[in-house]
Amino acid sequence: MYESLMKVITGYSLLSGFAIVGITMWVSYWMSDKLTKGRLHGSAIAILLGLLLSYIGGAYTGGQKGLVDIPLFAGIGLLGGAMLRDFAIVATGFGVSVEELKRAGVAGVLALFVGVLASFVAGVGVAMAFGYTDVVSLTTIGTGAVTYIVGPVTGAAIGASSDVMALSIAAGLIKAILVMVATPFVAPYIGLNNPRSAVIFGGLMGTSSGVAGGLAATDPKLVPYGCLTAAFYTALGCLLGPSLLYFMMRGLLG
Amino acid sequence: MIIYGVAFLAFCTLAGIFIGELLGKLIGVPANVGGVGIAMMLLIFLGSYLKKRGLFTGKSEQGVEFWSAIYIPIVVAMAAQQNVYGALSGGPMAILAGAAAVIIGFALVPALCRIGQKKADAEAASPLPKAPR
């Protein structure tokens, strides 16, 4: 009985993924309705539940993919993997107003540069406060605060040690998770309720999964605007990290 | 037919990500340069072109709309496979570095919005008299 059940669930993993996520969504919307009277959006609760489950999965298996490392939930990996995620994000672009995009274009590009630089400075500042002094480690941790891809890419290029790279990945992951969790709560205070601010938000935060999750929990209509600029962020970080930012740090700290 | 919409969406996504990869190679960065963004642009512009020509109809649109609607569940599945445990075990410095970046980012949104708005208003105001209707 158990064996047959597992065979079906793992063999039809994508379908089990749909079923499990569907149940999670139902529970979340029920909680949103009953416990918060709709004040906290159901999708925000669902994302929080997802992150919580991922923590439990990671603590239980010691793996790196959260809940997905448990074979029973492997289908969620396919459903939430890069392929279907990008597919669905692109699909949300179908309702986009070109006029809104044009109006936010310049500000979006500016936000990308400001976003990479600000995150980098924040990361370097914290690393300095924790006693790091060498340029390579500072740059690597700073670029980790840009995104968890930019950190290791830069670290590898300038020869950082593997534990500093691990720290920079962790900083980037924290950023992605925090953006997912905090955006719906912060949105009313920073005016994140229209396409233009979403474009700017995407450029400033840049972490694709964070922006995708955070905007989904805030207002799904804003998703395409934010994700459009965020799509360029990691690449810009990878471009600036080992070059401009590293040279800047070397110039400042010798 | 619904499959036309799904296939069109797939084509745009693949083409955009392919262009993003090529751009990355060209610039010399080991990352996809705006693939999803380019794909979205393709969808928007090719989509409206085909629509004007009457080649993209209600049924086909449903193929795109389904995936757009399934977006939030996919994001939930994505959240469930973030390395939350690994991130939190990175220690206080990693947590603070990530948090500082997020806080500064949030704080800059209203500031940049204001700059953007001024520029945007000026841009939006100027082309109007040039193109009277």
| A103 and A76 together in one domain | no
Listed residues A26, A55, A80: the one ending a domain: A80
- B-chain residues within 8 Å CB-CB of A24? 76
**Secondary structure of residue B126 in the 3-state scheme:** coil
Residue A135 has pLDDT above 50, yes or no: yes
Position B133 scores a pLDDT of: 40
| Residues B56, B11 within the same domain | yes
Which chain B residues have a beta carbon less than 8 Å from that of A53? 80
Residues B37 and B88 in one domain: no
Q: How many Å apart are CA A79 and CA A244, to the nearest integer?
A: 37
- Min Cα distance B120 → chain A (Å) is 5
Q: Does A122 contact B at CB distance below 8 Å?
A: yes
In this structure, the answer to whether residues B11 and B39 fall within a common structural domain is yes
Residue B4 in any domain: the answer is: yes
Task: Determine the pLDDT at residue B7.
Answer: 93
Does residue A20 belong to any structural domain of this protein? yes
pTM of the model: 0.78
Residue with tokens 């969504």: A25
Q: How large a percentage of chain A has pLDDT more than 70?
A: 100
Is residue A85, in this structure, part of any structural domain at all?
no
Section A188-195 average pLDDT: 86
Spell out the residues 6+ positions from residue A10 whose beta carbon is closer than 8 angstroms to its own.
A16, A71, A72, A74
Domain of A180?
Answer: 96-253
| Chain A residues within an 8 Å CB radius of B119 | 106-107
The tens digit of pLDDT for each residue in A24-73 reads: 999 988 988 888 877 777 888 888 888 888 888 888 888 788 888 888 88
Residues B49, A241: contact at Cβ < 8 Å? no
Give the dihedral sign, CA A107/A220/B107/A240. Answer: negative
Cβ within 8 Å, pair A177-B84: yes
Predicted confidence (pLDDT) per residue in A192-245, tens digit: 888 888 888 998 998 888 888 888 888 888 888 888 888 888 888 877 878 888
| Of B12, B67, B106, Cβ closest to residue A88 | B67
Question: pLDDT by residue for chain B (133 residues), tens digit each?
Answer: 889 999 999 999 999 999 988 988 887 777 777 788 889 888 888 888 888 888 888 888 888 889 888 888 888 888 888 888 877 887 888 888 888 989 998 888 888 888 756 554 544 444 444 444 4
B66 lies in a domain?
yes
Chain A, 72 to 91: residues with Cβ < 8 Å from chain B are: 73, 76-77, 79-81, 84-91
Q: What is the pLDDT of residue B12?
A: 93
Q: Which of B40, B61, B88, B115 would you mutate first to test chain A, the one with the most A CBs within 10 A?
A: B40
* Dist CA B123 CA B81 (whole Å): 43
In angstroms, the CA B98 to CA A126 distance is: 9
Beta strand spans in chain B (E): none
Indicate the burial class of B28 (C-beta count within 10 angstroms; 0-12, 13-18, 19 or more). Answer: exposed
Asked if the Cβ–Cβ distance from A145 to B100 is below 8 Å, we say: yes
Testing the interface with B: which of A87, A114, A193, A199 to mutate, by most B Cβ within 10 A?
A87
Q: Taking CB atoms and an 8 Å cutoff, what residues of chain A touch B33? A: 232, 235
Question: Quick check: B81 and B56 in contact, CB under 8 A?
Answer: no
- Type of residue found at B93: M
Interface list for A 129-148 with B (CB within 8 A): 129-130, 141-142, 144-146
Tens digits of residue pLDDT in A93-131: 887 777 777 777 788 888 889 999 999 999 999 988 888
CA A122 to chain CA centroid, nearest Å: 17
ipTM above 0.85, yes or no: no
Number of domains in chain A: 2
Distance from CA of A15 to the nearest CA of B (A): 13
Residues 6+ apart with CB under 8 A from A165: A140, A144, A151, A152, A155, A156
Whether B97 and B121 map to the same domain: the answer is yes
Q: Are residues A122 and A67 in the same domain?
A: no
Residues in chain A with CB shorter than 8 Å from the CB of B90 are 166-167, 169-171, 173-174
Q: Are residues B90 and B40 in the same domain?
A: no
Q: What is the DSSP string of A123-191?
A: HHHHHHHTT---HHHHHHHHHHTT-TTHHHHHHHHHT--HHHHHHHHHHHHHHHHHHHHHHHHHGGGTT
Q: What is the pLDDT of residue B116?
A: 55
Q: Which of A80, A105, A132 is a domain's end point?
A: A80
- Report the residue of chain B nearest A59, measured CA to CA: B85
Number of domains making up chain B: 2
The residue range of the domain holding B112 is 82-126
What's the one-letter identity of residue A190? I
Whether the Cβ atoms of residue A121 and residue A99 lie closer than 8 Å to each other: no
Residue at B132 is within a domain: no
Write out chain B residues lying below 8 Å of A44, CB-based. none
Q: Any idea which residue has 């947590």 for tokens?
A: B95
Residues A104 and A210 in one domain: yes
In a domain, A100, yes or no: yes
